[in-house]
Amino acid sequence: MPVRIYHNSRCSKSRATLALLEQRGVACEVVNYLDTPPSAEELTRLLDMLGMTPRELMRKGEPEYAELGLDDPSLDDTTLVAAMASHPRLIERPIVVAGGKAAIGRPPEAVLDIL
């Protein structure tokens, strides 16, 4: 199974992570997740692989975070995952998946541990 990167070409960390993988000769399936957002089910699988909670994967500085009231601590994981699926800008990036494991490319070198 090829390595998959959930990529945003406007993000410098995402571009740097993709370049690092390409420099190492890693064949990647690039998912431009703003154009093709992961489903709630796919996000749940990614969270399991990352060992993270939905709130840990959210970009809290995005306008949607405040607009949707996602800072409310009473919101459950299902609600937070649904918000990310509907508003993919909320998803931290880039996420690289390889061999049943996932890592966030912050810093880009962090993804090398799963290859």
Q: For 43-71, how does the pLDDT look when each residue is reduced to its tens digit (9 = 90+)?
A: 999 999 999 999 999 999 999 999 999 99
Q: Residue 107 is part of which domain span?
A: 3-114
* Residue 98: Cβ-neighbour burial (10 angstroms; 0-12, 13-18, 19+): buried
How many domains are contained in the chain? 1
Could you tell me the pTM of the whole model? 0.95
Domain CATH for 22: 3.40.30.10
The pLDDT confidence band at residue 1, using thresholds 50, 70 and 90, is: low
Res 2 pLDDT > 90: no
Which sequence positions are flagged as catalytic? 11
Mean pLDDT of 32-39: 97
Instruction: State the amino acid at position 34 in one-letter form.
Output: L
